[in-house]
Amino acid sequence: MKFITLVDNLKKAVVLAERITGRNLTLPILSNILITTDKNKIYISATDLELGINLAVSGKMEEEGKIAIPVKTFSSFLNSLPEEKATLKEEKNVLKVKTENYEADFQGISADDFPIIPSIKTEKYIEIEKNILGKAIEQIIPSISYNSTKPELNGILLKLDKGGLELVGTDSFRLARKTINKNNIKTNIKDELSVIIPLRTMQELLRILQGDSEGESSVVRISSDPNQIQFSLEDIRLVSRLINAEYPKYFSIIPTDFENKILISKKELLEAVKIVGLFSGKINDTKFKIDPQNKEIIIEAQDPSLGKSHTTVHPQEVSGIDLGISFNYRFLLDGLNSVEEETVFLGLNKEVNPGLLRGEKDNSFIYILMPIKI
């Protein structure tokens, strides 16, 4: 193998691949990346057997070949180099890297021992702009926490139906749902599709989507089979196992009518909750007293070992009855930060029922938060 490429392009691919490599003492091959050449591209592959990635880097190929090498030292070496050309040459399971001022030899192993990263063979697909998908994932991820007893909660539900594409995440204390209108997707799937994608997969996908987009396709193609899902961009392919479980029936907990309806500045509410929440107890409980008659909300928190704090905020609109309700302030901050509009809507029903948070006008994203019963 002999291949010439820019260090900067190679560096970006190896950094993404390094995140996927596994730290498995019984399978040390998983701490390696596979480097192969094909025509005028070099392919970098990595896997931990649950998640796999394949990245293409453009350059000039002079000889075909492949080799697997430990990624950690290789990545550190590339990150230390200036932006210049690099020549990669494989000789007897050694990868020789040469730039204008530096040379290094990396001891490799047989590429034949590297696990195969599967390719999903189906003509069915969903295509979506990467910025739209990236924003949706970013809004959903904060609502997911690792749960050792309920594997279905350790991922994001991706659901396709006649209305469009829906992403849902929950940890049973809060739930986030993002609906992407059918006009913003392209698909040849006639039936409904419902799969649970591991949280780590979506985190890595989000990093890819938020990365440098120069020269990169703006469309993501999604394809799946009963056990795996694949996300493809122009030079990147991410393949993941799916979570084989049934997702909770979440529709029943989404309120549609509200006794208390509030419109308030997102910035004002964020600031108030963030400051008062510093004095909350071990369960992060912060109390909200809704006073529609005086058009105000009193937010207070106290802890014997810390002290107490309270503030009053004035919504743009507030209707309903007097209400006292407590929320986990950190969860509430996650929801507020996920809403894109400057004015947020908060709908409440009694102190024991979940509240609903969304933008004033955009209801494509909703955030459901269970109250704390004290």
Structure tokens at 349: 């029903």
- Closest to 359 measured CA to CA, from 100, 237, 178, 115: 178
Backbone angles phi, psi at 339, to 5 degrees: -80, 135
pLDDT value of position 165: 97
For each of the domains in the chain, give its residue range(s) and CATH number, in order of start.
2-113 (3.10.150.10), 126-241 (3.10.150.10), 255-369 (3.10.150.10)
- pLDDT recorded at residue 213: 56
Edge-to-edge strand order for the sheet containing 51-58? 66-70, 32-38, 41-47, 51-58, 236-241, 228-232, 219-224, 126-129, 185-187
Q: What is the pLDDT along the chain (374 residues), one digit of tens a residue?
A: 999 999 999 999 999 999 999 777 678 899 999 999 998 899 999 999 999 999 999 999 999 999 999 999 999 999 999 999 999 999 999 999 999 999 999 999 999 999 999 999 899 999 999 999 999 999 999 999 888 889 999 999 999 999 899 999 999 999 999 999 999 999 999 999 999 999 999 999 999 999 855 555 689 999 999 999 999 998 999 999 999 999 999 998 999 999 999 999 999 999 999 999 999 999 999 999 999 999 999 999 999 999 999 999 999 999 999 999 999 999 999 999 999 999 999 999 999 999 999 999 999 999 999 999 87
Which pLDDT score, from 0 to 100, does residue 238 have?
A: 97
Check residue 23 and give its pLDDT: 75
